Amino acid sequence: MSGTFNYQKDSNNIVTVTMDMNGPVNAMNDEYIVLMTETIERLEAERDAIAGVILTSAKSSFFAGGDIKNMLKAVPGVDEPALFTQTESIKSLLRRLEKLGKPVVAAINGAALGGGYEICLACHYRVALNAPAVAIGLPEVSLGLLPGGGGIVRLVSKMGVEKAIMPLLEGTRFNAEKAAAFGLVEELASDTADMMAKATSWILANPEAINPWDVKGFKIPGGDLRKPNIAQMIQGAVPMLAQKTKGLMPAPEKILDVIANTLRVDFDTALRIESRALTSLVTSPQAKNMMTFFLQMNQVNGGGSRPKDIAKTKVKKVGILGAGMMGQGIAYVSARAGMDVVLKDISQDAADKGKAYSDKILTKAISRGRMTEEKKADILGRITATVDAKALQGCDLIIEAVFENVDLKHDMTRELEPLLADGGVWGSNTSTLPITLLAEASVKPENFIGVHFFSPVDKMPLVEIIVGDQTSTETLAKAFDYALQIKKTPIVVNDSRGFFTSRVFGTFVDEGAMLIEEGVEPVLIESLAKLVGMPVGPLAVHDEVSQQLTKKVVATNRDLNERLGDNMSVDTASARMSNVFVDEYKRNGKAYEGGYYDYAADGSKTIWPTIRERFVKADVAVPNQDIKERILFRQVVESVRCLEEGVLKSVADGNIGSIMGIGFPPYTGGVFQYINTYGVQKFADRAAELSALYGERFNPPALLLKKAADGELFA
């Protein structure tokens, strides 16, 4: 069945064009060009017989934007001319639509993001359904791209640079009400019939509609580059972007360049400049990485690691053991998702403090206009803070979020597991302890699973689900569904010490400590880590998680070695540095007396002088490039080991987990995509060089060497 742009003319001579392309969404691909061309030609031929046009969609979304899979196929140095021609072709169709000489209204019934909103901008008026499914904006920068269908030029021309610049640079997505308040749409509708009626009314009231930039003498709202404050804003944005992107992501700079050009040349010339800028980005490694990440994210959220042929479930009542930092966050996201929550602690005061965390978040949301008092009351009303174990009776899911202590967790399981509903799931929020070991206390180990959250839970988007040796596929499916229910992205890993995220995160912290032990200047370590795209340096991160916690983890690992008969080394650089901090200087981390840094009351921080006095060596000269690559390679090599050992179940889970859980640089597309972009053979060779220079932790794993020998990518 071929797609269609259904063309219907009513008694008012208004044509409704309903986009209904092949596949689940409308997208800006070759089929779109054919269908839109046919539609424009017919509209132009019948111009004198029509009063106006309403453009809408037969899908649940309005229009999904560009065809990412097609763009990923573009070959650098080969396909740019064809890309430019296609972009210009798409633009010419939208120009013909807006210059039809008749009013054109976009009736936005669902998501209109990227190319979808660019179509709306080429219309003369926009009416959006006021519904949760509606999302509006130009988020191309998050894919390493820019709006290339006229989005930059039209948005700046529509609302002026002062208003348009941040949504373009940040890729902001607006719901219907915020889109209307911001000026992205002119009117909201209560339902489909109301939307179509409002579109019709506007057309009848505005028969001579024309976009302002096609009116002779048009001036961009707020002024162009000849206005001093506008010129200063553009100039000031350059260093701001450089500080934010560290030169690692070209898209924001290209967007700013197109914005500046829109302010100094005529409309059609600006459109052509925009096309060239998009063309240069599509074949860039950063865009390919970020587009790959986007597709893998859809794969993961779409159930890529969820067992098939198991009916979807919803948690109605969840119990959370421990109302500390993790437990209170899990309680909030669960209640916000509509579940009844029992938040249990050993004292009522602790339980109440845990519930107060949700109150604080909701109150802040109200002050920002993002929450109503009624909704806040509803969410808080779902949380029962208690010391009474009986309140857990009948929970579909109980998540234990107590201290990382095997015996304590075993005690919790033995005492409270019987209160689960039939078929209920027991989840342990642990970052390091093997799930199979924790499940030894369970009478139903098949219903036992790891559910590893990240702090702060309300902000971190990832959940790492850990499957024990006896965990059933039904239990995995239920845990996966719960993660989606609370609007988190779930990755699934097999059981091991530290799983995937904690294990790889630990290498980042440890490499920072190794560099300190070698005598490298701490500011240099931190600066180079940020220059390769890590959000913060390894020393600052170690302070955040605390040296005190590192010592506890070491003790836990010693205990696990004894319990499991393992010989995992606990003599790491981060452990040795923590001993120095805690035992010798009583510096336990940022939340205590400080660690690598001293922390001032105003929030500023400086390297603790004793670090330089004791460790920095004037004659040490580790090349900057080596430091940069050690910081990234250490994490990547460990990730390959996780895949090789079967801890990671898929490349996609590794890429998504590394960026969303560990903070691996987004421009890389994740740990495995980083290897693909670097070149698998080249990466293996460089890892071997680093191993020879700095230690066997960089040894290329057998899986990496096999991929290199076979000429295969990590996919």
Model confidence pLDDT, tens digit, residues 539-549: 999 999 999 99
Burial of 374 (0-12, 13-18, 19+ CB in 10 A): exposed
Q: Where are the alpha helices (DSSP H) in 283-399?
A: 285-301, 325-336, 348-367, 373-381
What letter does residue 589 receive in the DSSP assignment? B
Task: List, for residues 407-456, the tens digit of each pLDDT value.
Answer: 999 999 999 999 999 999 999 999 989 999 999 999 999 999 999 999 99
d(CA 411, CA 314): 27
Q: What is the mean pLDDT of residues 161-168?
A: 97
Residues 6+ apart with CB under 8 A from 514: 573, 694
Q: What is the mean pLDDT of residues 90-101?
A: 97
Residues 6+ apart with CB under 8 A from 204: 12, 14, 51, 52
d(CA 70, CA 87): 13
For the beta carbon of residue 190, count every other beta carbon within 10 angstroms.
11
Report, as residue numbers or ranges, the catalytic residues: 452
Is pLDDT of 111 > 90? Answer: yes
| AA letter at 290 | M
Largest Cα–Cα distance of the chain, in whole Å?
87
Res 614: pLDDT: 96
Task: List, for residues 465-498, the tens digit of each pLDDT value.
Answer: 999 999 999 999 999 999 999 999 999 999 999 9
Residue 389 contacts residue 417 (beta carbons within 8 Å):
no
Bridging pattern class, strands 14-20 and 104-108: unpaired
Confidence of residue 369 (pLDDT cuts 50, 70, 90): confident
Residues 6+ apart with CB under 8 A from 371: 362, 365
Q: Domains in the chain and their CATH numbers?
A: 4-283 (3.90.226.10), 317-496 (3.40.50.720), 501-624 (1.10.1040.50)
Strand partners, 594: 589
Q: What is the mean pLDDT of residues 202-222?
A: 97
Is pLDDT of 520 > 80? Answer: yes
Confidence of residue 370 (pLDDT cuts 50, 70, 90): confident
Give the Cα-Cα-Cα angle 222, 227, 233 (nearest 5 degrees): 80
Residues 6+ apart with CB under 8 A from 308: none
Calculate Rg over the CA atoms of the chain: 28
Q: What is the mean pLDDT of residues 371-378?
A: 96
Q: Residue 228 is encoded by which pair of tokens? A: 């001093």
Res 691: pLDDT: 98
Whole-model pTM: value is 0.94
Count Cβ neighbours within 10 Å for each residue of 159-170 and write b for 16 or more, e otherwise.
bbbeebbebbbe
What is the average pLDDT value for the chain, to the nearest integer?
96
Bridging pattern class, strands 489-494 and 462-467: parallel
Task: List, for residues 317-355, the tens digit of each pLDDT value.
Answer: 999 999 999 999 999 999 999 999 999 999 999 999 999
Q: Residue 604 is encoded by which pair of tokens? A: 């500023």
Res 1: pLDDT: 57
Residue 597 contacts residue 590 (beta carbons within 8 Å):
yes
Task: List, for residues 262-284, the tens digit of each pLDDT value.
Answer: 999 999 999 999 999 999 999 99
Q: Residue 172 is encoded by which pair of tokens? A: 């902001």
Task: Give me the count of residues in the chain.
Answer: 715
Q: What is the mean pLDDT of residues 637-659?
A: 98
List the end-to-end C-alpha distance of the chain, in Å, as a whole number. 32
Confidence of residue 640 (pLDDT cuts 50, 70, 90): very high
8 membership: H or E segment, kind and range: strand 4-9
Task: Write out the DSSP string of 627-642.
Answer: HHHHHHHHHHHHHHHH
Q: What is the mean pLDDT of residues 176-204?
A: 98
d(CA 165, CA 157): 11
